[in-house]
Structure 1
Amino acid sequence: MRLPLSWLHEYCAPDLDAARLASRLALTGTEVDRIHHHGVSEEDSFVVGRVLSCHRHPEADRLTVCIVAVGEGDTAEIVCGAPNVEHDMTVAVAQPGAVMPDGTRLGLAKLRGVVSHGMILAE
């Protein structure tokens, strides 16, 4: 039987992560075959960022090069294809190392000669 973690948290300590809860269930004699994560997990490198500046990509008409604040004093240069990104916008950012819901792991990507240090999840 598959049980969602949110349902189990209604009946036990909500501060337990899936692995700790599985080990406690095993102590009661309840078999836990596996833990399956859906979507984005907490360990991935997804952050909220603020677009500090945007300018047209020098080699592409439909791309924008953005400088994004991604943490305390940290910035990232990100090449973005979304037409709705603008200065001072708050955006979700997938940083290098992030695993997307389809299993794709993001890395540094060179887009038309400019290295992108992540992906703005804007559109």
Structure 2
Amino acid sequence: MGQQARVLVIDDSLANAEALAASLVADGLETYYALSGVEALQKLTFWRPHLFIVDINMPEHDGFAVARVLRSIGSTCDAGIIAFTALGRDEFIASGEARDFDGYCQKGGTHTLLLALINGMLV
């Protein structure tokens, strides 16, 4: 990309959101975080990410609902959306709502796999 890639991390855990955002900044990505889908939508009024990393298990609006809303907004409908979740891949796919996501990565290890997925989507 000709400009620095922008990523928005959406996770209801402040510690997880801050840690992931800091890791992505260290990898050269312009990164913000939001602690809910509502907060993510508020950030869109002043900042447009190329990619969203979305936790699935969040109160009020889970990650599936957040992804549906992002796909319905003209300015974000084509952005990449990665599910970053504690759910196993089979459980994630079995939910039947995985269609709005472009990628999946399970939480719990290093961010190497997530970073590879991000880089693959941003080319």
Q: TM-score range by the shorter chain?
A: under 0.3
Q: Which has the higher strand share?
A: 1
TM-score by length of 1: 0.27
